[in-house]
Amino acid sequence: DTQEKLDNIRMELIDRFGVPPQSVKHLFSVHQIRLKAEHLGITKIDINTQGGNIEFSPDTPVQAISIIQLMQKNPTYYRMEGGQRLKVMVQLED
């Protein structure tokens, strides 16, 4: 399991070098996000200060109805662009 391997690497780094700096913690967080995105069939995530885009593969396990319900509940923040891209419109800090 890839998550298990990641956890083992993290523990080995801590055992050898002590508590990692914040930059290393961020690297592990980014990789965890990638693993979760891959599991959900997300092929690309683009983020900027105005929001971003989430692209799904055609065979994503995410049900279309879930995305539709998300957009209906929050039409100001979410909309589909094409068949595979969810646009997220929120203001983010730098």
The pLDDT, as a whole number, for residue 94 is: 63
**pTM of the predicted protein model:** 0.76
pLDDT at 6 over 90: no
User: What's the whole-number average pLDDT of the chain?
Assistant: 92
Residue 93 has pLDDT above 80, yes or no: no
Extents of the domains making up the chain: 1-39, 43-94
pLDDT average, residue stretch 10-24: 92
> What is the C-alpha to C-alpha distance for residues 27 and 46, in angstroms, rounded to an integer?
17
Confidence of residue 1 (pLDDT cuts 50, 70, 90): confident
Do 84 and 45 touch, CB atoms closer than 8 A? no
Q: How far apart are CA 10 and CA 86, in angstroms?
A: 32
Summarize pLDDT for 20-65 with one digit per residue, the tens. 999 999 999 999 999 999 999 999 999 988 899 999 999 999 999 9
Mean pLDDT for 3-20 is 91
Under 8 Å between Cβ of 80 and 87: yes
